[in-house]
Structure 1
């Protein structure tokens, strides 16, 4: 036996139709919204190459870096932080940067760094150390000032936050041209 619905619960067909359309439109709009995970750092694969020179990143020691530009689906990778700073700090660099990431040497080894990506703008850097990266002199990155200072005490150099690293500190002319191992 069916019980009749009270008159107050019956809606006119136009209201039901409009409500249904609004519900469907809302669901479709929600389907198009996703979290923007592309803004986060990407891991280095065996075939990941440097944007500047094509070197395979996984083959070399020292911290790596990546820049994600607004509108780009994938980041540009760099085989060391010196290259990233050199490009990023150039006055003619006009592309809008969505994210910059470096490897935290507090959490990954120098000789075979993997993962440990952190926001480059919150990291600390050692400029002038005797350690060499993929292209010779580099600017090691750390998630903590203490970690950077311990590295500087052991390997030379001075600690700087991101905002204090200058284009003069990130000159590439001291890299491969002066690397005696090559």
Structure 2
């Protein structure tokens, strides 16, 4: 049988682990970031649309040198990220300071890398089928239920096939 001292150490370790898990689980919301709003003549580098007309869909990349590109939705942001050399010659992923999307429910600017994206819902963006950004997994689950979404994705799960499916109107 273990000594009372050993049992106490084990219990304290278990408490620390449980507290750590709780704190990690509690931090499942994308961080809010500050990005200047697009000007009236800001144009999406991917599709050419004026983005200020759709403030609830605006996405942006801010480079370390302060230069900002705005997008009419997360879908075009991801297209830009996948082929940055074509859209922003001389810039690469290492030059990025901020990658931001607008939260669907809170209409606040979020760090895209921590956001959740729902595809296949009945909510369309300015360019049709869209990646709908949400701040938390809980919000994404709620959105899925309310808007018949098909999948919830993280930033790293959005690939070329997802983007092609959205453009074809058949997100899976």
**1:164 positional shift:** 1.7
**1:106 positional shift:** 2.5
Distance 1:134 1:172 in 2: 16
Query: Counterparts of 1:118-157 in structure 2 under 5 Å?
Result: 118-155=110-147, 156-157=149-150
Q: Which residue of 2 aligns with 1:16?
A: none
Instruction: Write the deviation string for residues 12-64 of structure 1: whole angstroms up to 9, x where unpaired.
Output: xxxxxxxxxxxxxxxxxxxxxxxxxxx94222333332222332213237522
**1:172 positional shift:** 7.7
* 5+ long unaligned stretches in structure 2: 1-32
Distance 1:61 1:174 in 2: 21
Instruction: Write the deviation string for residues 56-102 of structure 1: whole angstroms up to 9, x where unpaired.
Output: 2132375221012343x321001011111122134967613222000
Conserved? CA contact 1:61–1:134, under 8 Å: no
* 5+ long unaligned stretches in structure 1: 1-38, 109-115
Matched, 1:59 2:26: no
Conserved? CA contact 2:129–2:166, under 8 Å: no
Q: Which residue of 1 aligns with 2:163?
A: 170
Matched, 1:81 2:59: no
**1:173 positional shift:** 7.2
Q: Which residue of 2 aligns with 1:100?
A: 99
Conserved? CA contact 1:51–1:77, under 8 Å: yes
Q: TM-score, normalised by structure 1?
A: 0.61
Give the secondary-structure state (helix, strand or coil) at the position aligned to 1:133: coil
Distance 1:92 1:74 in 2: 15
State the number of aligned residues: 130
Distance 1:143 1:173, change over 3 A: closer
Distance 1:137 1:84 in 2: 14
Distance 1:163 1:45, change over 3 A: same
Structure 1 or 2, whichever has the larger Rg, is 1
Q: Which residue of 2 aligns with 1:49?
A: 43
Distance 2:141 2:38 in 1: 27
**CA RMSD in angstroms, aligned pairs only:** 2.6
Matched, 1:161 2:154: yes
